């Protein structure tokens, strides 16, 4: 992973957590715009990391729900 990808991924993780804490669905887009003003390639890496992390979270939630349906009790 390149330094750009590493930094973008860490920022994506922190921004997703902040958006959830602040209940602010637009925070991610605003942070991406701030990044893009000085580095479009970093903005793209950030947006990709956000999409991947959010997709993984949705998939894990779905998997947990499916397992809970099968569990006795």
Residues 42-51 pLDDT 10s: 999 999 999 9
Domain carrying residue 52: 3-70
Residue 34's alpha-carbon distances to 16, 29, 37, 44, in angstroms, are 15, 9, 5, 12
DSSP of 2-66: -HHHHHHHHHHHHHHHHHHHHT-TTHHHHHHHHHHHH-HHHHHHHHHHHHHHHHHHHHHHHHHHH
The widest CA-to-CA distance across the chain, in whole angstroms, is: 54
Domain count, the chain: 1
What local confidence, expressed as pLDDT, does residue 8 receive?
98
User: Mean pLDDT throughout 31-43?
Assistant: 97
Model pLDDT, residue 63: 96
Confidence band of 73 (pLDDT split at 50, 70, 90): low
Total-model pTM: 0.89
For the segment 36-58, the average pLDDT, to the nearest whole number, is 97
Is pLDDT at 37 greater than 80 in this prediction?
Answer: yes
């Amino acid at each position: 992973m390149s330094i750009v990808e590493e930094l973008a991924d860490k920022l994506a993780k922190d921004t997703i957590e902040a958006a959830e804490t602040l209940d602010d669905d637009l925070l991610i887009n605003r942070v991406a715009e701030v990044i893009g003003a000085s580095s479009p390639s970093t903005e793209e890496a950030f947006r990709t990391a956000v999409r991947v992390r959010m997709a993984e979270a949705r998939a894990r939630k779905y998997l947990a729900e499916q397992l809970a349906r099968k569990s006795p009790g």
